[in-house]
């Protein structure tokens, strides 16, 4: 194997992996969500049900106002501002403190520190919308888009409409059940409304923070695929440009940085840990190449041979449209891989080898 001639020795290849990862991390950024609502309405339960990492149980929290904690966990690109008890005594001073926090964040030059969306949670059982909720919604929606979230939703009876009427600034009001509800008569109401809540929130998150939001949530796997396809399109267009002057198959290695970047971005949408080691292991085990032979050219040709449709270009020339097609097929196979794996298991229980086994299967199809 003469890897040197293509200028893609092992070191170059590792540099390329590092670059791809660094770019994916920068591209992803972070998203910040404010969650308000009275004590006991189910904020923590909801957070643990829709975001990665059981944030309310295992995340770090630091108080940022007397009633607000900023909760986060390493490798999960979200910070939750969990605010409780505003309705108790001192409502006005608590609200002022919260608004001061919101304004301070908004004034920062780093958009990753802004608070991007607010959820105002109201419990369905209560059937009441307090003045404090209405005030909170008015003041917060001056600074960020706000959604009304009806929690522990079992039986609407017109309550959602009432919330919409009393919180006119809310962009939408969604009914949710975060964990199964076991009724006295033995019936169980399963969780519902969570994927819809994620979809509605995604629409309100600024574009530059949507990949972070997509990655941090676990209630809507389809959204991850949808977001990832954006990166597949971009990579396919870049590949088409590289193949604009048809390249010999043996130079298909030129497409590899684009494709590796794409795999990193897709991984990012699915919330995988963005490390060079992960990407390296994924590529190595999917192509069957390890250790010292882990060289650009061999990975390139092995990876390309795995891709459906790439077989017929072996030995021939790769045109722009073929380069785009190969890249798209690779991206789509990886999206199907992660969708399949995540439908069976939680992200924290998935190993790289499970991903690469499934990836190989998907590439053969």
Contacted entry of Mg ion, ligand GTP, none for residue 342, CB cut-off 5 to 8 Å set by kind: none
Strands 181-182 and 188-189: antiparallel
Instruction: Decide whether 61 or 308 has the Cβ nearer to Mg ion.
Output: 61
| Segment near Mg ion (CB under 5 A); pick from 35-43, 120-128, 312-320, 332-340 | 35-43
If one asks whether residue 84 binds ligand GTP (CB under 6 A), the answer comes out as yes
Q: DSSP for 128-139?
A: ---HHHHHHHHH
> Considering only residues 32, 44, 217, 287, which one is a binding residue for Mg ion as defined by CB under 5 A?
44
68 contacts Mg ion (rule: CB under 5 A): no
Residue 39 partner contact from Mg ion, ligand GTP, none using kind-dependent CB cut-offs of 5 to 8 Å = ligand GTP
Close Cβ partners of 267 (under 8 Å, ≥ 6 residues apart): 24, 274, 278, 279, 282, 338
Q: Where are the beta strands (DSSP E) in 166-224?
A: 172-175, 181-182, 188-189
Which residues, listed in sequence order, are joined to residue 30 by a DSSP beta bridge?
Answer: none
The answer to whether 211 contacts Mg ion (rule: CB under 5 A) is no
The only residue of 8, 30, 31, 42 in contact with ligand GTP, by rule CB under 6 A: 42
| H or E element, residue 46 | helix 43-50
d(CA 121, CA 148): 6
Least CB distance to Mg ion at residue 47 (A): 8
Q: Is residue 43 at the binding interface for ligand GTP, with CB under 6 A as the rule?
A: yes
**Sign of the Cα pseudo-torsion (293, 296, 298, 304, in order):** positive
| CA geometry: angle 198, 202, 206, nearest 5 deg | 155
Candidates 40, 111, 208, 308; binder of ligand GTP (CB under 6 A) is 40
Find out whether 93 and 110 touch, Cβ atoms under 8 Å: no
Q: How many residues bind Mg ion (CB under 5 A)?
A: 2
**Does position 83 bind Mg ion by CB under 5 A?**
no
* 179 interacts with ligand GTP by CB under 6 A: yes
Give me the residues paired with residue 305 across strands.
Answer: none
Stretch (H or E) spanning 55: helix 55-58
- The answer to whether residue 152 forms part of the interface with ligand GTP (CB under 6 A) is yes
Residue 120 or residue 228: which is nearer to Mg ion going by CB? 120
Q: State the chain's maximal CA–CA distance in angstroms.
A: 76
**Binding of Mg ion at residue 32 (CB under 5 A)?**
no
> From the list Mg ion, ligand GTP, none, which binds 137 (C-beta under 5 to 8 Å, kind-based)?
none
350 binds, among Mg ion, ligand GTP, none (CB under 5 to 8 A by kind): none
With tokens 């970047």, the residue in question is 261
Residue 49 interacts with Mg ion (CB under 5 A): yes or no = no
- The single-letter DSSP state of residue 30 is -
Q: Which option in Mg ion, ligand GTP, none does residue 65 bind, with CB closer than 5 to 8 A by kind?
A: none
Q: Which is nearer to Mg ion, 43 or 218 (CB)?
A: 43
39 binds ligand GTP (CB under 6 A): yes
* Residues at the site binding ligand GTP, with contacts judged by CB under 6 A: 37, 39-45, 84, 151-152, 177-179, 181
């Amino acid at each position: 194997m003469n890897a040197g001639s293509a200028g893609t020795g092992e070191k170059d290849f590792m540099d390329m992996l590092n670059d791809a990862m660094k770019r994916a991390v920068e591209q992803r950024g972070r998203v910040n969500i404010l969650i308000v609502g009275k004590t006991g309405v189910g904020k923590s339960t909801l957070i643990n049900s829709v975001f990665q990492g059981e944030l309310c149980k295992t995340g770090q929290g630091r108080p940022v106002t007397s009633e607000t904690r900023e909760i986060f966990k390493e490798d999960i690109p979200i910070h939750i501002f969990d605010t409780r008890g505003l309705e108790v005594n001192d409502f006005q001073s608590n609200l002022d403190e919260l608004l001061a926090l919101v304004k301070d964040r908004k004034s920062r030059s780093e958009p990753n520190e802004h608070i991007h969306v607010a959820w105002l949670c109201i419990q369905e059982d209560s059937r009441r919308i307090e003045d404090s909720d209405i005030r909170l919604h008015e003041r917060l929606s001056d600074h960020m888009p706000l959604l009304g979230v009806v929690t522990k939703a079992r039986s609407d009876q017109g309550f959602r409409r009432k919330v919409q009427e009393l919180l006119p600034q809310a962009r939408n009001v969604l009914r949710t059940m975060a964990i199964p509800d076991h009724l006295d008569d033995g019936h169980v109401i399963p969780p519902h409304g969570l994927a819809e809540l994620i979809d509605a929130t995604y629409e309100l998150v600024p574009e530059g923070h949507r990949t972070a939001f997509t990655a941090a949530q676990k209630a809507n796997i389809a959204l991850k695929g949808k977001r990832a396809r954006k990166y597949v399109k971009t990579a396919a267009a870049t590949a088409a440009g590289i193949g604009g002057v048809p390249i010999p198959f043996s130079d298909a290695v030129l497409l590899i940085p684009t494709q590796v970047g794409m795999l990193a971005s897709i991984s990012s949408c699915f919330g995988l840990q963005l490390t060079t080691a992960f990407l390296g292991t994924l590529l190595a085990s999917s192509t069957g190449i390890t250790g010292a032979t882990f060289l650009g050219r061999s990975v390139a040709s092995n990876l390309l041979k795995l891709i459906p449709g790439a077989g017929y270009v072996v030995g021939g020339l790769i045109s722009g449209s073929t380069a785009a097609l190969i890249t798209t097929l690779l991206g789509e196979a990886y999206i199907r891989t992660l969708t399949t794996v995540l439908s069976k298991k939680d992200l924290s229980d998935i190993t790289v080898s499970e991903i690469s086994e499934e990836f190989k299967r998907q590439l053969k199809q």
